């Protein structure tokens, strides 16, 4: 479930913040997670951003019958700054675990380049994996910093400009690319938002850190049943995910927003 939610959000989320909002904004979303039509978990994301800095918090856990089988929880946080209208990730931390084990990953980045990674307890399963080199850690995003996706100034928030992009992601273990491609629009209505969303097809490309003989990696690399819906946020001129659906080895998985809101914070940023 941890890898499913982490991958799904990387699939749905952004590449750069090419904007400088005049007022700090808080974006909140609550998601339901299901597998083969059965509700198995809940997730929530909160993004705070202004013209100088950002912070993204994300939490997920198994619920209901799934929680009786495995008590899985995950918490992620990313921080960074806005420099010349682009996103500059600075820190990434995630704690994930179940009833048997808890693991923490901390990562420091400067200018899109990973400077340090600490994994506790250390990850020992290295045999048969494609090595992650220093070049693989350059010009990347951590999974949580990708929560807000910019649309170029002057381009509409719904349509091809919302989707079409390549997203380079490194999570401290695995380096992969996600490619999003516009396929159409839908109209949705949930608490906090009613209106159009952009529908994107997504493709997963493993780069490094994965096992060469991994069945799940091969399945995802060949997977053509991955789709992301992106909702517009007018003030900041960005889009955020409302829905991610993908086929897995266990069946169809769905992460869908059940609540979504954008509100100004009490901090006003300088206008550029």
Question: What per-residue confidence (pLDDT) applies to 5?
Answer: 52
Contacts of 135 (CB under 8 A, 6+ apart): none
pLDDT tens-digit series, residues 155-195: 999 999 999 999 899 999 999 999 999 999 999 999 999 99
Q: 54: pLDDT confidence band, cut at 50, 70 and 90?
A: confident
Is the pLDDT reported for residue 84 higher than 60? no
22-31, 34-43, 59-68, 158-167: least confidently modelled range:
59-68
- What pLDDT, on the 0 to 100 scale, is given for residue 14? 37
**pLDDT > 90: what percent of the chain?**
60
**Averaged pLDDT, 253-259:** 95
Residue 51 has a pLDDT of 65
Class of the domain covering 25-264: mainly beta
Question: What band does 235 get if pLDDT is binned at 50, 70 and 90?
Answer: confident
Is 93 a residue whose pLDDT tops 70? yes
């Amino acid at each position: 479930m941890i890898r499913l939610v982490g991958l799904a959000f990387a699939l749905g989320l952004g590449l750069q913040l090419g904007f400088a909002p005049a007022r700090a904004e808080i974006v909140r979303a609550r998601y339901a997670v299901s597998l083969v039509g059965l509700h198995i978990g809940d997730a929530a994301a909160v993004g705070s951003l202004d013209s100088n800095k950002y912070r993204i918090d994300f939490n997920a856990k198994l619920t209901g019958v799934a929680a009786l089988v495995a008590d899985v929880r995950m918490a992620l946080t990313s921080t960074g700054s806005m420099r010349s209208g682009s996103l500059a990730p600075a820190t990434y931390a995630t704690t994930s675990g179940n009833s048997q084990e808890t693991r923490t990953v901390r990562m420091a980045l400067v200018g899109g380049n990973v400077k340090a990674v600490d994994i506790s307890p250390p990850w020992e399963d290295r045999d048969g994996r494609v090595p992650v080199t220093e070049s693989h850690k350059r010009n990347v995003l951590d999974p949580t910093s990708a929560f807000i996706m910019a649309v170029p100034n002057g381009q509409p928030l719904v349509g091809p400009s919302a989707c079409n992009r390549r997203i380079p992601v490194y999570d401290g273990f695995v380096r992969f690319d996600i490619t999003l491609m516009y396929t159409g629009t839908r109209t949705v209505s949930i608490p906090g938002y009613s209106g159009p969303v952009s529908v994107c097809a997504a493709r997963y490309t493993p780069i490094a850190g994965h096992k060469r003989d991994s069945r799940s990696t091969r399945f995802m690399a060949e997977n053509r049943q991955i789709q992301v819906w992106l909702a517009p946020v007018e003030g900041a001129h960005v889009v955020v995910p409302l829905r991610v659906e993908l086929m897995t080895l266990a069946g169809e998985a769905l992460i869908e927003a059940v609540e979504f809101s954008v509100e100004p914070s009490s901090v006003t940023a300088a206008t550029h």
